[in-house]
């Protein structure tokens, strides 16, 4: 039995922010019903591979383990069925443009009056209040507006976005956390509440330390192959066949580290003495050891640093990361049997619970696959369903 067994979630989310929050709840045992517009469905279904299967990575990744039903919430019959579904639900997830559900007569006040125990979670791009709150956007808008893009790359080089939908992901985690908190509060009060998160808010919160440094007068700096606030042997450097990350060298580890790279003379170099380096010293250190690291492969450095007890990691691409046995043994990757695509790897769940383990769903539903099943659960007859078609 999953931790959220017995919790019913209505997911009317699109793309990543809402659906990924629903995905986590599904992995933890909730019954997540994805409600989509007939014929169109979630926009994520249309970001496809140009192959015979038309695979849609965003949709498959964020919707496995859910049930899909199609309802047109803009017409009376669809709205009536949706309201019956709301009567039975614990959670509603949406990341439509702010005000959309209100325009359809499905806003928080309306649904909360009908089902006072409902947790009503909404996600937006820029937040629910203030000028521009109703603007549309996507992950890139929040990376840009939240300041993240201004931190990437190195001084003198062009800016670049992060190569994943990190703003969507952060907001989805905030949404799922808010939902779980509201469910716990409901145990005390008996009432649900509204949960609001945004892509922009998630990006700012994810950079709390960096913004605090800025507000304290520390300015802002780019990553420069490491982290702008950590002035140490903390960053990535090139090897003969790739890159490796040095994840800090503590004073007790210094001798073993310099021995491993065969640069014991640096142990006594006045520039690199602990405990605190400046940004300039950090840059000098990586310039000093750059040629050294290009003399061996990443695998050779990994072996040497393992023996030395130095903190490190190879800079993997997806192919290398997907071969890491640790990721498989911890369930971060799992193998499933897909009815169309056969045996295939997929991303698992990063949360492990000892008594109520998560169970990642294997298959993302076809559009409307469970519509009749869910309508029958709501008390509709086959005759009723035929009239709705």
Catalytic residues: 168
Residue 256: strand, helix, or coil? helix
First to last CA, the chain: 36
**314 and 245 in contact (C-beta within 8 Å)?**
yes
List, as one string, the DSSP characters of 60-118: HHHHTT-EEEE--TTSHHHHHHHHHHHHT-SEEEE-SSTTHHHHTT--HHHHHHH-TT-
Other beta carbons within 10 Å of 228: 16
CA separation, residue 21 to residues 2, 136, 332 (Å): 16, 20, 17
Q: What token pair was written down for 334? A: 């799992």
Distance between CA 366 and CA 1 in Å, rounded? 25
Q: Does residue 165 contact residue 95 with C-beta atoms inside 8 Å?
A: no
Phi, psi of 162 (to 5 degrees): -70, 140
By C-alpha distance, which of 124, 87, 125, 128 is closest to 106? 87
Tokens describing residue 95: 């990341």
Q: Give the H/E segment covering residue 329.
A: helix 325-329
Token pair in block for residue 160:
């670049």
How many alpha carbons lie under 13 Å from residue 1 in its C-beta half-sphere?
5
């Amino acid at each position: 039995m999953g931790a959220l067994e017995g919790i019913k979630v209505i997911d009317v989310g699109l793309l990543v922010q809402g659906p990924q929050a629903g995905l986590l709840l599904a992995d933890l045992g909730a019954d997540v019903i994805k409600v989509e517009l007939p014929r169109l469905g979630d926009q994520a279904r249309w970001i496809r591979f140009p192959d015979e299967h038309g695979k849609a990575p965003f949709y498959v990744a964020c919707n496995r383990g859910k049930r899909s039903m199609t309802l047109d919430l803009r017409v009376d019959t669809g709205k009536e069925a949706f309201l019956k579904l709301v009567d039975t639900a614990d959670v509603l997830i949406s990341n439509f443009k702010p005000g959309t559900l209100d325009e359809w007569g499905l806003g928080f006040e309306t649904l909360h009056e009908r089902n006072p125990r409902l947790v009503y979670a909404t996600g937006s791009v820029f937040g629910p209040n203030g000028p521009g709150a109703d603007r549309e956007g996507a992950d890139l808008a929040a990376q840009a507006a939240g300041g993240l893009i201004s931190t990437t790359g190195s001084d003198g080089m062009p800016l670049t976005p992060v190569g994943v939908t990190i703003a969507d992901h952060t907001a989805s985690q905030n949404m799922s956390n808010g939902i779980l908190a509201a469910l716990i509060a409901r145990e005390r009060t008996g009432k649900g509440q509204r949960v609001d998160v945004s892509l922009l808010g998630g990006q700012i919160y994810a950079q709390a330390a960096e913004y605090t440094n800025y507000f304290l007068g520390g300015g802002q700096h780019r990553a420069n192959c490491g982290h702008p606030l950590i002035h140490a042997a903390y960053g990535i450097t090139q090897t003969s066949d790739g890159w490796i990350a040095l994840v800090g060298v503590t004073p007790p580890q210094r001798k073993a580290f310099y021995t491993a790279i065969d640069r014991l003379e640096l142990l006594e170099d006045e520039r690199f003495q602990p405990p605190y380096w400046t940004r300039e010293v950090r840059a000098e250190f990586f310039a000093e050891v750059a040629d050294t690291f290009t003399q061996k492969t990443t695998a050779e450095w990994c072996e040497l640093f393992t023996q030395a007890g130095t903190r490190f990691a190879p800079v993997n691409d997806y192919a290398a990361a997907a071969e890491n046995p640790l990721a498989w043994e911890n369930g971060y990757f799992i193998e499933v049997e897909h009815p169309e695509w056969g045996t295939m790897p997929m991303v698992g769940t990063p949360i492990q619970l000892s008594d109520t383990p998560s169970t990642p769903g294997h298959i993302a539903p076809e559009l409307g696959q469970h519509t009749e099943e869910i309508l029958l659960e709501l008390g509709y007859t086959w005759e009723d369903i035929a009239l709705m078609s």
